[in-house]
């Protein structure tokens, strides 16, 4: 294990790499109105860009991310990033909507590098500081998610919406070189082949109830997140008359959510992950209700966005701290179950939110988004009650 000083530098590199890579999934969200106009499709059809990118990401999580337990991690990450750059170039020059959608799927599949690197961070971190270091890397990833919308809006306002795809393609090549040169060599111990590796994922999902619970609850949270951010650009442009640049400035409010990552990591390290998760689920539901009731105020929408992002990102860090402690030799596969579930949930929620916005206006996606974390809260309450009952009967508490 690298010494602490070098480990901190490595975590910074991992954080930047995760943020730059995962941003590819979100560049399109504030550009949907321009994309719809450019290709002559409806707003609901344009929302398919977000849905298919997330489905591509889910496919990458299911098929590529388990390789983190089989293939040398540094080489896997750097080589995959080269394919990400190629997919971004195709998106930038796509002549028709179908080609753009296909490129979006490939962008999603290859951007899974971000989730290969997070278990890498967990492997490198001392056990007693795992929450802290994973939180640091997650801060970079979350900033990538949250600032992507602002960056793409500002670049689109200045140079056109296609430009961000060229810019990101260059950045992916830079990140590939940085990862190759600065990250330590890590070859996993699993040596039984890809087929057995994939079968073991189903075994993990079946044998680890905490993993299933955390995955479903975070999928519901990410569904609320996707419902809000997929639809809010339409609302800001249509109801409030914001320009593309102003939409980008609005998206900066989401950056506040990154503050939740290190705080949640420390909260989990101190044994308060359970109560923190319940609070996060409740806050997400409240945020979506505020977004519905405050639709006429940009300030209210911004407040809702801040609270929602804090809740979603804090819940994810608490979830990852718990699941990475389940089996140290299977963290990539554990992350596969967790993140695939999340992004399938996010993709479905994006599609539903786009349809609901077309049919019911802003009330559709916001009320739908509020219902999702409430379902998660019910799951959390049930698990907490069962755990308390086991403890009273002499059982052992769940981590």
pLDDT (tens digit, 9 = 90+) per residue, 187-199?
Answer: 766 667 788 888 8
CATH number for 263: 1.20.1250.20
Whether the per-residue pLDDT at 175 is higher than 60: the answer is yes
| Domain final residue pick, 152, 167, 191 | 191
Task: Give the mean pLDDT of 362-383.
Answer: 94
Residue 224 and residue 291 in one domain: yes
Residue 244 and residue 391 in one domain: yes
- Count Cβ neighbours within 10 Å for each residue of 168-186 and write b for 16 or more, e otherwise: bbebbeebbebbeeebeee
Q: CA-CA distances (angstroms) from residue 130 to 71, 127, 144, 264, 323?
A: 23, 5, 21, 12, 12
**SS3 state of residue 335:** helix
Q: For residue 97, what pLDDT band results from cuts at 50, 70 and 90? A: very high
Asked whether the whole model's pTM tops 0.85, one would answer no
Q: For residue 285, what pLDDT band results from cuts at 50, 70 and 90? A: very high
Residue 173 and residue 234 in one domain: no
pLDDT for 107: 95
What is the CB neighbour count within 10 angstroms for residue 290?
20
Minimal CA–CA distance to 292: which of 335, 356, 248? 356
Whether the per-residue pLDDT at 346 is higher than 90: the answer is no
Owning domain of residue 173: 1-191
Q: How many domains does the chain have?
A: 2
Which of the two residues, 310 and 247, has the higher pLDDT score?
A: 310
Residue 113 and residue 212 in one domain: no
Residue 120 and residue 178 in one domain: yes
Residue 180 and residue 223 in one domain: no
**SS3 state of residue 72:** coil
Residue 131 and residue 250 in one domain: no
Query: What's the rounded Cα separation, in Å, for the pair 120 and 332?
Result: 8
| Domain final residue pick, 144, 160, 191 | 191
pLDDT for 61: 81
Task: Give the mean pLDDT of 3-21.
Answer: 79
| Domain final residue pick, 171, 191, 211 | 191
Whether the per-residue pLDDT at 217 is higher than 90: the answer is yes
Minimal CA–CA distance to 225: which of 66, 353, 127? 353
Which of the two residues, 54 and 285, has the higher pLDDT score?
A: 285
């Amino acid at each position: 294990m690298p010494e602490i000083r070098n480990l901190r530098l490595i975590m910074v590199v991992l954080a930047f790499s995760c943020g730059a890579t995962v941003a590819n999934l979100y560049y399109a969200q504030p550009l949907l109105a321009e994309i719809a106009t450019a290709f002559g499709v409806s707003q609901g059809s344009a929302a398919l860009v977000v849905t298919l990118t997330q489905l591509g990401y889910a496919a990458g999580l299911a098929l590529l991310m388990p390789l983190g337990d089989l293939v040398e991690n540094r080489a896997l990450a750097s080589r995959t990033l080269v394919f990400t750059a190629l997919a971004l170039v195709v998106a930038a020059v796509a002549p028709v909507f179908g080609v753009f959608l296909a490129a979006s799927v490939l962008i999603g599949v290859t951007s899974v590098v971000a989730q290969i690197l997070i278990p890498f961070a967990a492997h490198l971190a001392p056990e007693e500081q795992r929450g802290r270091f994973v939180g640091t890397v997650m801060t970079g990833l979350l900033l990538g998610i949250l600032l992507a919308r602002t960056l793409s809006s500002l670049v689109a306002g200045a140079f056109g919406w296609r430009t961000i795809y060229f810019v990101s393609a260059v950045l992916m090549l830079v990140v590939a070189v940085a990862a190759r040169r600065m990250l330590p060599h890590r070859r996993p111990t699993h040596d039984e082949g890809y087929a057995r590796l994939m079968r073991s994922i189903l075994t993990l999902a079946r044998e680890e109830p905490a993993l299933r619970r955390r995955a479903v609850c975070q999928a519901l949270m990410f569904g609320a997140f996707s419902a809000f951010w997929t639809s809010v650009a339409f609302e800001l442009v249509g109801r409030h008359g914001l320009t593309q640049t102003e939409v980008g400035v609005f998206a900066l409010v989401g950056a506040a959510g990154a503050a939740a990552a290190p705080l949640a990591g420390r909260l989990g390290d101190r044994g308060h992950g359970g109560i923190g998760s319940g609070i996060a689920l409740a806050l997400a539901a409240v945020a979506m209700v505020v977004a519905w009731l405050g639709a006429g105020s940009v300030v209210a929408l911004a407040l809702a966005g801040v609270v929602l992002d804090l809740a979603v990102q804090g819940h994810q860090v608490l979830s990852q701290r718990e699941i990475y402690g389940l089996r140290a030799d299977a963290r990539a596969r554990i992350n596969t179950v967790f993140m695939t579930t999340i992004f399938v949930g996010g993709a479905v929620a994006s599609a539903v939110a786009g349809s609901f916005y077309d049919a019911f206006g802003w009330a559709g996606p916001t009320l739908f988004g509020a219902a999702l974390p409430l379902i998660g809260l019910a799951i959390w309450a049930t698990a907490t009650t069962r755990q308390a009952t086991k403890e009273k009967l002499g059982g052992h508490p769940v981590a």
